[in-house]
Amino acid sequence: MASLELQRQIEDFYAAYVETLDDGDLEKWPDFFVEDAIYKVIPRENYARNLPLATMRYESRNMLRDRVVTIQKTILHAPRYMRHMLSNIRIHRDEGGVLDVRANYLVLQTLVEQPTTVFSTGRYLDTVVRDGNGFLFKQRLVVFDSELVPNSLIYPL
Amino acid sequence: MNVMRNDLVGRHWPEGGHTRVPYWVYSDPEIYALEQERIFGGPSYSYVALECEIPNPGDYKRTQIGDRPVVITRDAEGQINAVVNRCAHRGVQFCQQHLGNTKEFICPYHQWAYDLKGNLLGVPLRRGFKKQGGMPDDFKLEDHGLRKLKVAVRNGVIFASFDMAMPSLEDYIGPNMLKYFDRVFDGRGLKVLGYSRQRIPSNWKLMFENIKDPYHASLMHVFLVSFGLFRMDQPSAVEMDATGMHSVLVNRRAEAPAAGNEATSEMRSFVNLKLQDPTLLQPKKEFPGDATVVMQTLWPNIIIQQQSNTLAMRQMVTQGPNAFDLMWTFFGYADDDEDMTTRRLRQANLMGPAGYVSADDSEVMQFSQVGIAPYPDDVAVIEMGGRETEDQPHTITEVALRAFYKHYRTVMGL
């Protein structure tokens, strides 16, 4: 069982990630990852069947930066707010400075002149490494339950 | 026979024939109901599965043709069958899994049991109990099987039809379109890489129109244009079958991507982009000829995507006039090496609900639907590239949309 202090630090790191996305500070999103990070958004059915296809598959911090630039400059999309809710943040393993952390998430979406709806829910399956006094994601797998993405997935989860 | 149904649905196609599309075709529930009957339930072959999804006897896949749930099976003899996902007794949808393997289908309600061909094997309490109840003496199992569909398979791709009198799949696709179909499905074994599913809040026809419309591709898709993946200044073509119901867009990758020129100056949204990590986009030539993009639409429900090394079936499942589900099955070949599989998975970032290209489409289709639906009596104009419906050796055209609506009107009797 992780110490209370470590649990608190990890929860703070997770909250900061969510706050960055929900506040729309997209440029800062890649800074939560190591340079050769893996970030994938995966439909649960693919994950369950060991099928390798991901809805987003980025294999470096620079690919995450490319996503940010394309959201800002190339991808046509309706304006929207996203809001993340996190729960069940749990450190499953802590070995040699590498943590396996899992969490549940719920993301709500609000489109122009529309009521807020559930956009996605699922699990974060993460590998987190220590970085100075803080942490970085070495790998973040976002495995979503939703059988159908409500139209488009523009912003990262 | 196709009776003219104008009066039945109270709709009249506007002047201008196939150069005009009345907006009521995208939102009228009666038109939608007629489409289910005439198009998806009528004389057409719908894509339903890849053979490699159900490789073994007993394997099945649940899917839909238009509104109608069906199950595709491989029986004990290895043959492929398609049956409705609806018990012959009281209509219960008996199959609830995307994919699976079973010896028989048993309806959970009254346990009627069917083999994988859809034949009724048994009915509990058929003879009653202690001389009470039971089915009438003349009840025959063979009269109460699942409704069967006609099945056609070509090079690993399975199609099904509610019309048992359909001609061969090859005649249906036609020689010119078959040539493009066989380019991707050349007989090699296929391998599913994974699924992606999204619900797009627009009429299903807007998806077909989108893929049949290369005019928008050079303008709206900043990513495609900027990286030279699809450009109107490249050698290209729009081709169709004799009826106009099927089509292909063919394009070639630009030699010097991201270089602004005379053509890109017409593209207001062209931006000089450089990927910080270009490994996302490193296509490798794998098909004969110099085309690098071939997008094929086969009436009435499938888009076959080959953009660089990313291959996918995009199956449309209708959800009323104002929405449809787009079911993506990404695949490669059974003999792909790890390097090619990785390329396909990386380039899949262009496609699907988050795709650098496809997200533009799902978003703009929503804008279309909310623009169209409140104005059913207005019309769309499709005159780019002229008013005709013949093949064209370029992509600055909406010819495949005109051909699509020419065929649509015939099938719908509108």
pLDDT tens, position by position, B196-207? 999 999 999 999
pLDDT (mean) for B368-393: 94
Q: Which two tokens stand for residue B227?
A: 């990286």
pLDDT (mean) for B95-110: 97
Q: For residue A65, list chain B residues with Cβ-Cβ distance below 8 A.
A: 276-277
pLDDT (mean) for A87-100: 95
**pLDDT value, residue B2:** 47
The count of other CB atoms within 10 Å of the CB of residue B414 is 20
Residue B142 has pLDDT above 90, yes or no: yes
pLDDT (mean) for B141-149: 98
pTM for this predicted structure: 0.95
**pLDDT value, residue B224:** 81
Query: Of residues A23 and B223, which shows the higher confidence score?
Result: A23
Beta strands in B25-109 (DSSP E): 46-50, 59-65, 68-74, 80-84, 99-101, 105-106
State the residue for tokens 């900043």: B222
Question: How many CA atoms does the CB half-sphere of B246 hold within 13 Å?
Answer: 23
The answer to whether A43 contacts B196, with C-beta atoms less than 8 Å apart, is: yes
Q: Which two tokens stand for residue A36?
A: 């050769």
pLDDT (mean) for B238-267: 77
ipTM: 0.96
CATH class of A4-144: alpha beta
Residue B216's pLDDT band (cuts 50, 70, 90): confident
Q: Is B168 exposed, middle or buried (0-12, 13-18, 19+ CB in 10 A)?
A: exposed
Among B345, B357, B365, B368, pick the best mutation site for testing chain A contact (most A Cβ within 10 A).
B345
Percentage with pLDDT > 90 across chain B = 80
- Nearest 5 degrees, angle CA A51-CA A53-CA A58? 135
The answer to whether B354 contacts A148, with C-beta atoms less than 8 Å apart, is: no
Domain map (residue ranges) of chain A: 4-144
| Distance from the A61 Cα atom to the nearest Cα atom in chain B, whole angstroms | 9
**pLDDT value, residue B1:** 42
Beta strands in chain A (DSSP E): 33-43, 56-58, 80-95, 98-111, 117-131, 134-144, 149-150
Residue B252's pLDDT band (cuts 50, 70, 90): confident
Residue B8 has pLDDT above 80, yes or no: no
**pLDDT value, residue B261:** 63
Question: pLDDT tens digits, residue range B307-361?
Answer: 999 999 999 999 999 999 999 999 999 999 999 999 999 999 999 999 999 999 9
